[in-house]
Structure 1
Amino acid sequence: MDDEHCYRAMSSKDARFDGWFYVAVTSTGIYCRPSCPAVTPRRENTRFFPTSAAAQAAGFRACKRCRPDAAPGSPEWNVRADVVGRAMRLIADGAVDRDGVSGLAAALGYSERQLNRLLVAEVGVGPLALARARRAQTARVLLETTGLPISEVAFGAGFASIRQFNDTVRRVFAHSPTELRRRAGRHRAAGPTGVITLRLPYRPPIDLDLLFGYLAARAVPGVEEYTGGRYRRVLALPHCTGIVELSGGDGYVWCTLRLDDLRDLGAAVERSRQLLDLDADPVAVDARLAGCAALAPLVAAAPGRRVPGAVDPAEIAVRAVLGQQVSVAGARTVAGRLTARYGKPLTAPTGSLTHAFPTAAALAEADPDDLPMPAARRRALLALTDALASGAVDLGPGADRDESEARLTELPGIGPWTAGYIRMRALGDPDVFLPTDLGIRRGLERLGRDGAPAAATALAESWRPWRSYAMQHVWAVPQPDGRAAASRVPAMRS
Structure 2
Amino acid sequence: MLDDDQRYRAVHSRDPRFDGVFYTAVRTTGIYCRPSCPARTPQRENTRFYPTAAAAQEAGYRACKRCRPDLAPGSPEWNGRADLVGRAMRLIQDGAVDRTGVDGLAHGLGYSTRQLRRLLTTEVGAGPVALARSERAQTARILTETTDMPLTDVAFAAGFGSVRQFNETMQAIHGHSPTQLRERSRARPWADGVPGTIALRLPYREPIDLDAMLGFLGDRAVDGVEAHDGHIYRRVLRLPGGPGTAELSPGPDGPYVLCRLRLTDPADLTAAVQRCRRMLDLDADPAAVAEPLGEDPLLGGVVRRHRGIRSPGHVDPAELAIRAVLGQQVSVKAARTLAGRLAARFGEPLPDGLADGTGLTRAFPSPETLAEADPADLGLTLSRGRALVGLADAIATGGVDLGPGADRESTERDLLRLYGIGPWTAGYIRMRGMADPDVFLSGDLGVRLGLEGLGAPRSPGEAAALAHRWSPWRSYTTHLLWASLSDGEPAEPTDTGSRG
When normalised by structure 1's length, the TM-score is 0.97
Corresponding residue number in structure 1 for 2:334: 330
- Aligned counterparts of 2:187 and 2:248: Cα–Cα separation in 1: 27
Corresponding residue number in structure 2 for 1:378: 385
The 10-residue stretch of structure 1 (391-400 or 30-39) with the greater mean CA deviation from structure 2: 30-39
Corresponding residue number in structure 1 for 2:305: 301
- Aligned counterparts of 2:192 and 2:219: Cα–Cα separation in 1: 36
Corresponding residue number in structure 1 for 2:88: 87
Offset at residue 438 of structure 1 (A): 2.1
Corresponding residue number in structure 2 for 1:111: 112
1:408 pairs with 2:415: yes
- Aligned counterparts of 1:477 and 1:270: Cα–Cα separation in 2: 29
1:205 to 201, 204, 207: 207
Aligned residues: 493
Corresponding residue number in structure 2 for 1:70: 71
SS at match of 1:53: helix
Corresponding residue number in structure 2 for 1:134: 135
Corresponding residue number in structure 2 for 1:360: 367
**1:131-170 pair list within 5 angstroms:** 131-170=132-171
- Aligned counterparts of 1:472 and 1:198: Cα–Cα separation in 2: 28
1:224 pairs with 2:231: no
Offset at residue 194 of structure 1 (A): 3.2
Offset at residue 352 of structure 1 (A): 2.2
2:282 to 278, 281, 293: 278
The 10-residue stretch of structure 1 (383-392 or 179-188) with the greater mean CA deviation from structure 2: 179-188
The 10-residue stretch of structure 1 (113-122 or 189-198) with the greater mean CA deviation from structure 2: 189-198
Summarize the Cα distance change of 1:444–1:124 in structure 2 as closer, same or farther, 3 Å threshold. same
- Aligned counterparts of 2:477 and 2:188: Cα–Cα separation in 1: 48
1:388 pairs with 2:395: yes
**Amino acid of the structure 1 residue aligned with 2:350:** L
Corresponding residue number in structure 1 for 2:38: 37
SS at match of 1:362: helix
Summarize the Cα distance change of 1:218–1:6 in structure 2 as closer, same or farther, 3 Å threshold. same
Summarize the Cα distance change of 1:306–1:492 in structure 2 as closer, same or farther, 3 Å threshold. farther
- Aligned counterparts of 2:287 and 2:381: Cα–Cα separation in 1: 44
Corresponding residue number in structure 2 for 1:292: 296
Summarize the Cα distance change of 1:412–1:112 in structure 2 as closer, same or farther, 3 Å threshold. same
Corresponding residue number in structure 1 for 2:248: 246
- Aligned counterparts of 1:365 and 1:205: Cα–Cα separation in 2: 45
Corresponding residue number in structure 1 for 2:455: 448
* Cα-to-partner distance string for 1:251-297 (whole Å, 9 max, x where unaligned): 21000001121001111111111110000000110001112111100
SS at match of 2:214: helix
Contact 1:52 1:69 in 2 (8 A): yes
Corresponding residue number in structure 1 for 2:22: 21
* Cα-to-partner distance string for 1:147-187 (whole Å, 9 max, x where unaligned): 22110111111111101101100100111111111122279
SS at match of 1:48: strand
- Aligned counterparts of 1:479 and 1:266: Cα–Cα separation in 2: 37
Offset at residue 437 of structure 1 (A): 1.9
**Amino acid of the structure 1 residue aligned with 2:366:** T
Between the aligned residues of both structures, percent identity stands at 61
SS at match of 1:197: strand
Corresponding residue number in structure 2 for 1:260: 264
Corresponding residue number in structure 2 for 1:315: 319
Unaligned runs of 5+ in 2: none
1:429 pairs with 2:436: yes
- Aligned counterparts of 1:314 and 1:44: Cα–Cα separation in 2: 49
- Aligned counterparts of 1:44 and 1:123: Cα–Cα separation in 2: 22
Q: Which consecutive aligned stretches of 4+ in structure 1 deviate over 4 angstroms post-superposition? A: 186-190
- Aligned counterparts of 1:361 and 1:215: Cα–Cα separation in 2: 25
- Aligned counterparts of 1:322 and 1:166: Cα–Cα separation in 2: 49
SS at match of 2:361: strand
Summarize the Cα distance change of 1:375–1:68 in structure 2 as closer, same or farther, 3 Å threshold. same
* Cα-to-partner distance string for 1:180-229 (whole Å, 9 max, x where unaligned): 11122279999455311111100010011101111111101110001251
Offset at residue 482 of structure 1 (A): 1.6
- Aligned counterparts of 1:152 and 1:492: Cα–Cα separation in 2: 48
Summarize the Cα distance change of 1:187–1:368 in structure 2 as closer, same or farther, 3 Å threshold. closer
Unaligned runs of 5+ in 1: none
- Aligned counterparts of 1:73 and 1:233: Cα–Cα separation in 2: 22
* Cα-to-partner distance string for 1:383-428 (whole Å, 9 max, x where unaligned): 1001000001000000000000000000011011111110000111
Corresponding residue number in structure 2 for 1:3: 4
**Amino acid of the structure 1 residue aligned with 2:225:** V
Corresponding residue number in structure 2 for 1:215: 217
- Aligned counterparts of 1:78 and 1:439: Cα–Cα separation in 2: 25
SS at match of 2:405: coil
**Amino acid of the structure 2 residue aligned with 1:244:** A
SS at match of 1:255: strand
Offset at residue 60 of structure 1 (A): 0.2
Corresponding residue number in structure 1 for 2:466: 459
Corresponding residue number in structure 2 for 1:125: 126
Contact 1:194 1:260 in 2 (8 A): no
Offset at residue 489 of structure 1 (A): 2.3
2:497 to 470, 480, 490: 490
When normalised by structure 2's length, the TM-score is 0.96
Offset at residue 455 of structure 1 (A): 2.5
1:58 pairs with 2:29: no
**Amino acid of the structure 2 residue aligned with 1:404:** T
- Aligned counterparts of 1:92 and 1:481: Cα–Cα separation in 2: 41
* Cα-to-partner distance string for 1:458-489 (whole Å, 9 max, x where unaligned): 32122111010011111222379621444462
Summarize the Cα distance change of 1:454–1:492 in structure 2 as closer, same or farther, 3 Å threshold. closer
- Aligned counterparts of 2:493 and 2:58: Cα–Cα separation in 1: 52
